Amino acid sequence: MTRAEAKERNRRALLDAAFQVISRDGYRARLDEIAERADLTTGAVYSLFGSKNGLVVALVADYQRPYYVEIEQAVPAELDLLEAVDAFARYYRRSCDAPDARSVLSLQITLLDMALHDPDLGVQLAGSIRSQENHLIALFTGRSHKGSVVTSHQAQRLTTALRALFVGLGQGVTLGLAPGADEQYFADTARALASDMSLIDPVHGRGEAGQG
C-alpha cells in the first residue's frame, strides 16, 4: 500500500467512525473513541483533519457529496425550471423512504445541536453547507422559465427556499407526521414555490425570470 493509499484508508476509517460516534453522542462525542473505533490514534485525526471540528466538517462534506451527484443525475440539463424543480422534488421524496432515512435525520439533528453548543463549529458547518449548495444553484441557473432565463441570484434564492421546504417536509415524512405527502405532493408544492415566490427580486419587486 502506498503512502497515499494508507492516508486515504485512514481518512475513510475516521469518517466512518465519526459518523457512528457523533450520530450517537453529538457534541459529547469523544475524539479518542472515534480514533479507537478506526484503529488509529487521536494524532491521526489532527494530522488528517486538523481538529475535531475539522473532522466534523469533513464528515458533512463526505455525507453530502454523493447526494449532490445523484441530484445532478436525477435532473437532466434539458428541463426547464419547473420541470427541474419537479424532478428534484421527486428525488428528495424518494430519499425519505431510503433504509437509512432515520439515521440521516438523526445526524442532521445532531449536527444542529453541535453547532448550537459550539459557535465556531456552527460557522464552519454553515460554510461547508453553502459550498455544497452551490451545486444546486448551478443546477437551476440558466434554465428557461416563462420566456426568460433564471439568473444565479434567482437560483440562489430558490435553492434556499426549496431547502427549507424539503427539510421540513422530509422530517415530517420520516417521523410519520406528514400523511399524504407523496411524490406528487412534494412536486406540486415545489412547483408552486418556484412559480409564485422564490424568484421574486427583493430589490425591484419582481424577478427577471417570470415577469408578466
3-state secondary structure of 60: helix
pLDDT tens per residue across span 157-188: 999 999 999 999 999 999 999 999 999 999 99
For residues 193 and 161, is the Cβ–Cβ distance under 8 A?
Answer: yes
Q: Tell me the CA end-to-end span of the chain in Å, nearest whole number.
A: 62
Taking alpha carbons only, the member of 131, 142, 136 closest to residue 157 is 136
Using CA atoms, how far apart are residues 22 and 18, in angstroms rounded to an integer? Answer: 6
pTM of the model: 0.82
For residues 81 and 194, is the Cβ–Cβ distance under 8 A?
Answer: yes
Residue 144 per-residue DSSP state: E
pLDDT tens per residue across span 181-198: 999 999 999 999 998 654
The letter for the amino acid at 87 is A
Using CA atoms, how far apart are residues 200 and 197, in angstroms rounded to an integer? Answer: 6
Kindly give, in sequence order, each residue whose CB lies less than 8 Å from that of residue 162, ignoring residues fewer than 6 positions away.
85, 88, 89, 136, 190, 193, 194, 198
Using CA atoms, how far apart are residues 205 and 24, in angstroms rounded to an integer? Answer: 46
Q: What is the mean pLDDT of residues 63-89?
A: 92
For residue 129, what pLDDT is reported?
85
How much is the mean pLDDT over the chain?
89
The letter for the amino acid at 98 is A
Q: At 10, is the pLDDT very low, low, confident or very high (cuts 50, 70, 90)?
A: very high
Using CA atoms, how far apart are residues 113 and 111, in angstroms rounded to an integer? Answer: 5
Q: At 132, is the pLDDT very low, low, confident or very high (cuts 50, 70, 90)?
A: confident
